[in-house]
Structure 1
């Protein structure tokens, strides 16, 4: 990383850095010499030097009627960093109060189209605990066997197990036969009594809803909603047939 890039982390612009580094190299010098070395106008250099003095990075002295400037010890940058840290710590209670207020609201993301549905599926692999899902038989038809196989392979490599509740259709019955191989447990419910038309996944503090008919998905991020939907899933799991 270039020194100018490092100085930018301290809030110094490109011209600020040029003036500071020129002063550091020249030692005690006039604004004219510093401006010439920094490649900026002399009038501009005065404004920058004044600003750097306020930050404690530049000092000044007098030689007769002439003002001379000099860079402080490079350690002054560390002091500047400490001051910024102190200011941040003072603002922390306010920042936390804003975060807590925002954190209480569910975060909702919408996805459209086949690619959007695939993004929702990929997001379920961001949580390395167990997945809980209500499934339909439309996933392969819509997303394709290749994508489904890749998704399963990634899930198994990450050792993410899944419990699913699905309708007793021929497709889901075949799906259930792969339980042991695919790190999954499947329980069936009557398609006639429970004709699911969307898929729902519960993982961590998130819920993912996928409508293959409408080709849209929604991810809701909320501790409370996810916790209560997980309770409903457990209730359904106990009542579902093996």
Structure 2
């Protein structure tokens, strides 16, 4: 009996409705009071649920000698109705799945116009897992405006965290950026820049005059406009794949730069500390 109740519960029968329907099957024809007694529930409760079952055409009522007699639909008829409901639901599955796909395909777009928006993106990058990678496409004008937007203290911390966490920057920089970036950065921060993990390819600004820059990480594409302190970030897997494919195509066709900022100065570091050590969580601070 418990198994029958469980099956009926799966088809929107409450526990009381299941008990009352089963009681009706046993009695075949009965009054509300007789059904309530058989099911072991109060008459008022029985009346409420029987009324609902009648509305759903699971129970039927007829008058006999001025009394209301309740009869159940047969189990086979009920099974056919439940099967019809299952069929109706199955017919909706493609539409429901399309709703899910459509929801997943809607890009999440954030447009912000403040320095904080830039800091938010950089903070997300430095908090990626140790050894992660982000991608950057940038020219000289974009780099100069970017470095002026935030103060030297912020950049010192950002560069330090990037180096400590060994986060790789895979970048396509213009040749003009690499030639002039040291003019827009303090010597201390430039030295820290050299300690970061880099995989840089370069191209002439004549071929890539973007005047701003793009960063890519965690299925996000951020279009950065530092001159007006604005960012447009799009999160969308399919769109990310397209832009990433374009990035990798340009990357493969451009010239690799082995030491974009020159080699780090290690002449004053003791010999036993020159070998890079693998970063651990204990090394991290922020």
1:55-96 per-residue CA deviation (whole Å, 9 max, x = no partner) reads: xxxxxxxxxxxxxxxxxxxxxxxxxxxxxxxxxxxxxx9998
Shift of 1:109: 0.9
> Aligned partners of 1:177, 1:239: CA distance in 2, in Å?
29
Mapped pair 1:161 → 2:168: yes
Alignment of 1:23-172 (within 5 A): 99-125=100-126, 127-128=128-129, 129-135=132-138, 136-137=142-143, 138-169=145-176, 170-172=179-181
Larger Rg: 2
Q: Is the 8 A contact 1:127 1:203 kept in 2?
A: no
Alignment partner of 1:185 is 2:199 = yes
Secondary structure at 1:227's aligned position in 2? Answer: helix
Taking structure 1 as the reference length, the TM-score comes to 0.53
Gaps of 5+ in 2: 1-92, 258-286
- Out of 229, 233, 237, the position equivalent to 2:251 is 237
1:100 to partner: Cα distance? 4.1
Residue 213 of structure 1 aligns to a residue whose secondary structure is helix
How far apart are 1:147 and its partner, in Å? 1.6
Structural RMSD (CA): 3.2
Q: 1:196 aligns with which of 180, 205, 210?
A: 210
The answer as to whether partners of 1:107 and 1:222 remain within 8 angstroms in 2 is yes
1:141-188 Cα offsets, whole Å, 9 max, x none, are 112322222122222333321111112122347899977621112222
In structure 2, what is the Cα distance between the partners aligned to 1:192 and 1:97?
45
Q: Secondary structure at the match of 1:220?
A: strand
Distance in 1, matches of 2:191 and 2:160, equals 17
**Closer/same/farther in 2, CA of residues 239 and 172 from structure 1, 3 Å limit:** farther
How many residues are matched? 153
Q: Which TM-score applies when normalising by structure 2?
A: 0.46
Separation (CA, whole Å) in 1 of partners of 2:111 and 2:149? 18
Query: In 2, Cα distance between the equivalents of 1:154 and 1:95?
Result: 45
